[in-house]
Amino acid sequence: MRQHSLHGISGMGGVMFGDLPLAEAIASSFTGAMGTSLWGAVHAKVARVFQRDQGDEPATLLAELENNARLVASAEDAAAARQQLAPYWQFRFQALLREDPQIESELRDLVAELAPQLAQVHGAQVQTNNAYEGSSVFAAQGGNVIVHQAPPPPPEEESGR
């Protein structure tokens, strides 16, 4: 689980929560609660957020929430299941924030509320990465890092030929 700072900023690329886009922070927190003792309370809060919308979509989303929670609860690797669901919910929360910017403070409060609870449920993770003398560090917790680098350029030919 990522650790988030609890102060929000608005920046280029969307609404931010600390150094993460708010939609990513809420999706990570939200899916992190799936299949845990926190799910009932989190589900109720997120359901209220989605039910603000009028029409048929909230009922569909609520059914999807329950289905996703069941998938996580029954998965052999719940952490991997959560990780696979998080991008989808990030997309949904981005759309929600675009449609209803007023929801930002409620989502921000929910992330701040969930951070310490999720740390207790999943255990806090600390990662320290150091790079020295122009080197690079590529790191992840509970995920993949895929790096595509171009090969180094060929050595320059001597200028006397």
- Cα of first residue to Cα of last residue in the chain, in angstroms, is 58
Give CA–CA dist 75/81, Å, rounded: 7
Which two tokens mark 21?
């886009």
Angle at 41 between CA 98 and CA 48, to 5 degrees: 35
State the average pLDDT over residues 89-93.
89
Per-residue H/E/C for the chain: CCCCCCCEEEECCEEEECCEEHHHHHHHHHHHHCCCCCHHHHHHHHHHHHCCCCCCHHHHHHHHHHHHHHHHHHCCCHHHHHHHHHHHHHHHHHHHHHHCHHHHHHHHHHHHHHHHHHHHHHCCCCCCCCCCCCCCCCCCCCCCCCCCCCCCCCCCCCCCC
Q: Using the predicted structure, report yes or no on whether residue 4 has a pLDDT greater than 70.
A: no
Using one digit for the tens of pLDDT, what is the confidence trace for 94-136? Answer: 888 888 888 888 888 888 888 777 777 766 555 667 777 777 7
Q: What is the pLDDT of residue 160?
A: 56
In this prediction, residue 5 has a pLDDT band, given cuts at 50, 70 and 90, of very low
